[in-house]
Structure 1
Amino acid sequence: MDRNVTMQPSLELWPIGNCQVSGLLDERAGLVWGCVPRIDGDPVFCALLNGERRDAGVWRFEIEDQVSSSQHYVRNTPILVTRLEAKDGSAVEITDFCPRFERSGRMYRPVAFVRIVRPVAGAPRLKVTLSPMHGHGEHLAETTSGTNHVRFLTGDTPLRLSTDAPVGTALAGKAYRVESDQHFFFGPDEPFSGNIRSELRQMEEQTRKYWQLWVRGLATPLEWQDEVIRCAITLKLCQHEETGAIVAALTTSIPEAPGSQRNWDYRYCWIRDSYYTVQALNRLGALDVLEKYLAYLRNIIADARGGQIQPLYSVMGEAQLTERTADALAGYRGMGPVRIGNAAYHQIQHDCYGQIVMPTAQAFFDRRLLRMADDRDFASLEEVGEMAWAMHDQPDAGLWEFRTRQEVHTYSAAMSWAACDRLARVADHLGKADRASLWQERADTIRATIDREAWVETPEGGHYGASFESDYLDASLLQLVELRFCEPDDPRFRSTFAEVEKALRRGEHMLRYAKEDDFGAPETAFNICTFWLIDALARSGRTAEARELFVTMLGHTTRSGLLSEDMDFETGELWGNFPQTYSLVGVINCAGLLSKNWNTVR
């Protein structure tokens, strides 16, 4: 018997996608999560959060007397191959992907999932379960079928399965013998034009070629190339290409810890998370993601009209993301609630101004870009800087998005400093001496304020605190070096690092903070914070320790090579939404920092 059949849902998931839609497959070739018509849409495949109703909201292939399954990606692509084997040695291979390639002068990325089943040994008997839902798990899709297709009524987005498999048998969920390759295209409710066998094989080849050429353009470190490439591909899948928005994760409501109620919808574009994503991909030379995201930011800035920037928006740039619960879905392992929308959109988080200015500043210097920034962009960016200046010493919810308290958070103030500092550099580059002087004066004032208000005197000498009002610590203080607010050998940073490590490190893991919040004390480590720890160790000269801890963290990745948001620091089990862009950024950044130089093999 397949050892996975009776297992409860886990985060051993394999993403596929095309920057329009995405899906997550489990270890038994089940498509258990996938939303239409885009990443933040209705999950027609929702079995991941559907409790005991695991045959609803899923697309699964099984073979009779199945005893094992194994999976891998086609090299340097998000094309997944799953091999299912039966007790008698018969086997099939299932290839899953979402088409993505250039066609007719533009990128072809339909709202579609392609699955190709290939018998590779013996005489396997295949069973197909295809039960899409709509209304966030409230209704099974009604079906009508034709000779070579099945139509599914899924709310406002009807879908169609086109196939050369026997439609009646497949629709009935009956096992049947597979003697030749079978091809499945689940997409828009429109007739499939052309021969499905040859068309899908061509799509497979063109999609493979697109991704492998994209990866070929990455400037990867010498060591940990496979890990970095997998993270880079997955980060690109988190971009909604139509607008350039980058989502924080592909899922909603995977709890940060068992039964914690810390269940949030991450299928939106956080300005903060996106900043870290484009920063990491930029280090690899993936300028296409940066360029599209900068276009998204320009629209956000224009819509704000010099006013407050929200911490997050929808992938279409919509500002209102009203939070509600999807009561028909039981939640991951039955641990609801399942939330749709995110109330953090109306929070005050002042760090977002720096996170808009910093990636945009590159566009004034980087001559590789198709569209470099100009004086008009600088004028718009100054409006963002004005907000950073006005809010640098005002309370906010902070990067950890506290829902019931506000303070002047050091990280937010440091991001405001970074906004003014980078604007001064851009102004100088543009020959605007008076503006450069103004922004530098403001940066210096914010620096002095942070040094005065965030510094906590102790018998040992002192350290920066997480806020101006309190002396507690959080892991974001380790970012002061990354922001260039401090040098690694600055005594103030060294003492702060020592205190943060002592207060928040739990063996091989790092908490974001230890202080109780709206839901009590944190129960899991925040993976990006562990990578910030690794970064700080390396920059402080503890390179061997940093490498050891980095390798340990890579040992916690899923078989797909990815990480979620959180990790149980006792058991190492992954929790939180998946795959989490923050965590993948940590892999890329630390690999680049710790890898041996390419010159060592030349």
Structure 2
Amino acid sequence: MSNRHTYDLGVIGNCAYLALIHQDTSLQWLCWPRFDSGFVFGSLLDRQQGGEFTLRPAEGEFRTHQYYLDNTNILCTEVESAQGRYRVTDFAPRFQQYERYYKPLMLIRKLEPLAGTPRVRAVCRPVGDYGRQVLSPRRSSNHISFMGLSEEVRLTSNVPLSYILDEEDFALTETKYLVLTYGAPLEAALESTCERFLRETTQYWRQWVKSTSISNFYQPQVIRSGLVLKLHQYEDTGAIIAATTTSLPEAPGSTRNWDYRYCWMRDTYYILTAFNNIGHFEEMEQYFHFIANISTKVRDKYQPLYSISGNSELIEQELSHLAGYLGNQPVRIGNDAYTHIQNDVYGQVLVALLPLYVDQRFVTKERVHSEKLMYDALSFIERTMEQPDAGLWEFRNLAQFHCYTYLFHWAGAHAAHKVANNLGNADMAGLAERLMHQAGQKIEACFSPARQVYTNAIGSLHLDASTMQLIMMGYLRPDSEVARTHLAALEAELKTPEGLFYRYRHADDFGTPETTFLICSFWYIEALACVGRLDDAVREFEKLLGYTNHLGLLSEDVDARTGSQWGNFPQAYSHVGLVNAAYRISKKLDMPNFL
């Protein structure tokens, strides 16, 4: 693929923070103390003001090879120059300790010689307040303190501190360790502690993978997606963010640069399904508690998204002092979509609550508050049945009666009906049945008999990839003629020759979309599997695997012409899409779960 743009980055994390490391060893993204905090390293968005943490050869050209330790989120970068070869092992410690997970704000970089006598230059210049603040280094006995933030950033190392402070190169003749901390520092033996943390973190991730249930259909890719997805859960509250980053453009020059470090309610069902599909219950449970916590605070309406702590105000700002990724401005923090009306969220919450009643692994105490939540969500559906909204794709200046919103009204009411029957609650069952019927009428109002397709909204001519969910959610019988013709019409209008899918092709507030949206392509694969086109589903799945980066990581968007990755990265929902599509295919192929 000519001029293909990829994010040459690996992600590490421990469910307390996330970091992105380039193939050239540079730490290009690290926000502390939370996923949505200001960056300490952010050269991804500004090479001058984003700080620097690199372990590069002193001079001359060099080659690198980057990979994960098998079945872990521990990243290795091997660097080869004329002087020799060395390996950087980067990881965020995570393991069980004192009956809880130890997940400090600590990044460990292990630097070991492999061949020859490489000369390495270690540069560490953290920043504050999205690059507006330069931190001042202060030398201590065995560490450097970087002062200026509310908590101390500390680099503890057995590399001579003078070499780091003066940015002088040194001969790497033995293993060195560089430990960066925020707040609580490392106050233990350096070498033995780093090695123990590496050993225990390796063991933790491998045990996590062993406890998944995954078929042998493209198992390594599903494992990597599961590992990436796990990193995007902020364990303190259970929230799952859409992506690690902010302001990576959906297409170059598009100004569609958004902050995705938040938790979108509209994705609840898909995330819970993904964790369920790989047999991971703990993450489902934590995420459910986050959703339940939000639900108890809601008065007027659910917002489309919340912060990882459930905060509802996500005021959007532009950071004009930052150059932006490859010069793409604006850089935004916060997200104005929190003010939008997206009425599919009520159905999302109801479908999310369903496992509490049908999955026997949940016990009664977890259901205590949820009956009221179900009533509340049903009453929201009732109140918004005649209300236009911004829809799934968050149109900023357009409100319509979206087919997808009514699908989730229908699916949510369907879930509530099942629960009501389970509880013997005739009142709730009657309300749910009435709302299912009303939502079904609205969905049918989106049907175009002439084209044999459901359009994106009542009275609209446009098509939308989200309506593939009519098949996957069971509204349309997968073996029906209308499911077949609906899918065929979407293929004809929204699918590229490469098998990628646009969300829609009509102009919105920012013009016509230039790039395809990866999760829509995975939905397409699921829809193919549902309607029995299994060979097509497998073929399209295999094609999509070609759009990962060198580590198997997926972005949000792909340029169909060049295969370039765009949008925020890594995109949790693209990996959700991969997990769910692989599961759908493996069930149809009747493949046993091997793990």
Q: What's the TM-score once normalised by structure 2's chain length? A: 0.96
Unaligned 5+ segments in structure 2 are none
Q: Deviation at 1:180? A: 1.3
Residue 71 of structure 1 aligns with an amino acid whose one-letter code is Q
Distance 1:277 1:599 in 2: 22
The answer to whether the Cα contact below 8 Å between 2:73 and 2:91 also exists between their aligned partners in 1 is yes
Query: After the TM superposition, which residues 405-484 of structure 1 pair with which residues of structure 2 at under 5 Å, given as runs?
Result: 405-451=398-444, 453-458=445-450, 460=451, 462-484=452-474
The answer to whether the Cα contact below 8 Å between 1:264 and 1:339 also exists between their aligned partners in 2 is yes
The answer to whether the Cα contact below 8 Å between 1:246 and 1:274 also exists between their aligned partners in 2 is no
Distance 1:417 1:502 in 2: 27
The answer to whether the Cα contact below 8 Å between 1:565 and 1:577 also exists between their aligned partners in 2 is yes
Q: Deviation at 1:371? A: 6.8
Q: Deviation at 1:372? A: 5.7
- 288-297 or 494-503: bigger deviation: 494-503
- 570-579 or 155-164: bigger deviation: 155-164
| Residue 37 (1) aligns with residue 33 (2) | yes
Give the secondary structure class of the aligned counterpart of 2:357: coil
Query: After the TM superposition, which residues 29-68 of structure 1 pair with which residues of structure 2 at under 5 Å, given as runs?
Result: 29-51=25-47, 53=48, 56-64=50-58, 65-68=60-63
Which of 1 and 2 has higher RCO (CA within 8 Å, sep 6+)? 2
Counterpart of 1:76 (choices 71, 74, 88) is: 71
Distance 2:364 2:170 in 1: 55
Distance 2:590 2:563 in 1: 31
Counterpart of 1:180 (choices 174, 182, 189) is: 174
Distance 1:225 1:106 in 2: 29
- Give the direction of change, closer, same or farther, for the CA distance of 1:493–1:157 in structure 2 (3 Å limit): farther
| Residue 344 (1) aligns with residue 337 (2) | yes
Query: After the TM superposition, which residues 57-456 of structure 1 pair with which residues of structure 2 at under 5 Å, given as runs?
Result: 57-64=51-58, 65-88=60-83, 90-305=84-299, 307-369=300-362, 373-451=366-444, 453-456=445-448
Give the secondary structure class of the aligned counterpart of 2:24: coil
Q: Deviation at 1:154? A: 4.6
The answer to whether the Cα contact below 8 Å between 1:325 and 1:340 also exists between their aligned partners in 2 is yes
- 16-25 or 350-359: bigger deviation: 350-359
**What is the CA deviation profile of residues 282-326 of structure 1, one whole-angstrom value per residue up to 9, with x for unaligned ones?**
111111111001111111011114x30000000010000000011
- Give the direction of change, closer, same or farther, for the CA distance of 1:563–1:276 in structure 2 (3 Å limit): same
Query: After the TM superposition, which residues 498-517 of structure 1 pair with which residues of structure 2 at under 5 Å, given as runs?
Result: 498-507=488-497, 508-517=499-508
Q: Deviation at 1:482? A: 1.8
Q: Deviation at 1:556? A: 1.3
| Residue 16 (1) aligns with residue 12 (2) | yes
Residue 481 of structure 2 aligns with an amino acid whose one-letter code is P
Residue 426 of structure 2 aligns with an amino acid whose one-letter code is A
Give the secondary structure class of the aligned counterpart of 1:502: helix
- Give the direction of change, closer, same or farther, for the CA distance of 1:74–1:601 in structure 2 (3 Å limit): closer
Distance 1:288 1:391 in 2: 33
Residue 188 of structure 1 aligns with an amino acid whose one-letter code is Y
- 257-266 or 381-390: bigger deviation: 381-390
Residue 572 of structure 1 corresponds to 563
The answer to whether the Cα contact below 8 Å between 1:9 and 1:48 also exists between their aligned partners in 2 is no
Q: Deviation at 1:23? A: 0.2
Runs (4+) off by over 4 Å: 7-10, 599-602
The answer to whether the Cα contact below 8 Å between 2:214 and 2:593 also exists between their aligned partners in 1 is no
Distance 1:375 1:439 in 2: 20
Residue 30 of structure 2 aligns with an amino acid whose one-letter code is G
Residue 572 of structure 1 aligns with an amino acid whose one-letter code is G
Q: Deviation at 1:276? A: 1.5
Q: Deviation at 1:66? A: 4.6
The answer to whether the Cα contact below 8 Å between 1:364 and 1:372 also exists between their aligned partners in 2 is no
**What is the CA deviation profile of residues 503-538 of structure 1, one whole-angstrom value per residue up to 9, with x for unaligned ones?**
111112111000000010110111111111222222
The answer to whether the Cα contact below 8 Å between 1:256 and 1:263 also exists between their aligned partners in 2 is yes
Counterpart of 2:581 (choices 587, 590, 595) is: 590
Distance 2:118 2:363 in 1: 51
Q: Deviation at 1:374? A: 2.3
Q: Deviation at 1:600? A: 11
Distance 1:393 1:488 in 2: 28
Q: Deviation at 1:599? A: 4.9
Distance 1:236 1:151 in 2: 31
Query: After the TM superposition, which residues 517-536 of structure 1 pair with which residues of structure 2 at under 5 Å, given as runs?
Result: 517-536=508-527
- Give the direction of change, closer, same or farther, for the CA distance of 1:41–1:154 in structure 2 (3 Å limit): farther
- Give the direction of change, closer, same or farther, for the CA distance of 1:38–1:371 in structure 2 (3 Å limit): farther
Distance 2:40 2:143 in 1: 18
Residue 503 of structure 2 aligns with an amino acid whose one-letter code is R
Residue 4 of structure 1 corresponds to none
- Give the direction of change, closer, same or farther, for the CA distance of 1:41–1:601 in structure 2 (3 Å limit): closer
Distance 2:362 2:244 in 1: 28
Give the secondary structure class of the aligned counterpart of 1:84: strand
Residue 3 of structure 1 corresponds to none
Distance 1:9 1:140 in 2: 31
Distance 1:413 1:191 in 2: 51
Q: What's the TM-score once normalised by structure 1's chain length? A: 0.95
Q: Deviation at 1:359? A: 1.6
Distance 2:372 2:184 in 1: 46
Give the secondary structure class of the aligned counterpart of 2:111: strand
The answer to whether the Cα contact below 8 Å between 1:68 and 1:84 also exists between their aligned partners in 2 is yes
The answer to whether the Cα contact below 8 Å between 2:215 and 2:592 also exists between their aligned partners in 1 is no
Residue 579 of structure 2 aligns with an amino acid whose one-letter code is I
Q: Deviation at 1:148? A: 0.9
Number of positions where the alignment pairs a residue of Structure 1 with one of Structure 2: 589
Q: Deviation at 1:457? A: 2.9
RMSD: 1.9
Q: Deviation at 1:430? A: 1.6
Give the secondary structure class of the aligned counterpart of 2:354: helix
Q: Deviation at 1:10? A: 4.7
Residue 480 of structure 2 aligns with an amino acid whose one-letter code is D
Residue 307 of structure 2 aligns with an amino acid whose one-letter code is S
Give the secondary structure class of the aligned counterpart of 2:315: coil
The answer to whether the Cα contact below 8 Å between 1:398 and 1:412 also exists between their aligned partners in 2 is yes
Q: Deviation at 1:437? A: 2.9
